[in-house]
Amino acid sequence: MTSESTAVNVPEDHDAEDAASETPLSRLEEEGDVAADYLEELLDIADIDGDIDIEVRNGRTYLSVVGDDEAEGLDTLVGADGEVLEALQELTRLSVLSATGNRSRLVLDINGYRGERSVRLQEIAEKAVERVKAGESTVHLDPMSSYERKIVHDAVAELGFVSESEGEGAARHIVVSAD
């Protein structure tokens, strides 16, 4: 069985440009509901216990599937290096598109994998910057998803260095440099 809880965070101060560029809150809430229904059916079919939390923040819907320590099967839905999680996220986005006619940028997390991965990506960015500081002109990182590349790009920029994505498809990766 799954249960669902919803937390909606809306930034307090919007200016006209921000409001025009963001997805309306009601659409994001609908997106979360459709996605949660899809995931709940999937969990029921797979006979996996988990709770689904929905949060709307920064113009995006975030869904988290969490289980208690005794829940089995959720780690299977993450897969090696998050590959199954990425596939489930895309299937969930397709479910939302099918139900609403709107493309979704929702982010799916299972058992806190994305939070743990985010910490690791920060470390990867810091090590790449250290290698550039030590004299390497460019550092090529391993391929990663667009969501993960965004995290690394932000971390590298915060450290005062430059990064750009290169390659196509599954080979798309980040190159870090000083300028």
Give the pLDDT confidence of 117-141 residue by residue, as tens digits.
999 999 999 999 999 999 999 999 9
pLDDT level of residue 25 (50, 70, 90 thresholds): confident
What percentage of the chain exceeds 90 in pLDDT? Answer: 72
Q: In DSSP terms, which residues pair with 65 in a beta bridge?
A: 52, 110
pLDDT level of residue 170 (50, 70, 90 thresholds): confident
Q: What is the pLDDT of residue 130?
A: 97
- Scored b (16 or more CB within 10 A) or e, 91-106 reads ebbebbeebeeeebeb
Least confident of 9-18, 67-76, 127-136, 147-156: 9-18
pTM of this prediction? 0.75
Bigger pLDDT: 58 vs 174: 174
- Flag whether pLDDT at 19 surpasses 70: no
3-state SS class at 163 = strand
pLDDT, tens digit, for every residue of 60-91? 999 999 987 666 788 899 998 898 999 999 99
Contacts of 62 (CB under 8 A, 6+ apart): 54, 55, 56, 106, 107, 109
Q: What is the pLDDT of residue 66?
A: 92
The span from the CA of 13 to the CA of 19, in Å, is: 10
What percentage of the chain exceeds 70 in pLDDT? Answer: 85
Q: Which of 31, 170, 178, 29 is nearest to 99 (CA)?
A: 31
Q: What is the pLDDT of residue 69?
A: 66
pLDDT level of residue 179 (50, 70, 90 thresholds): confident
- Flag whether pLDDT at 99 surpasses 90: yes
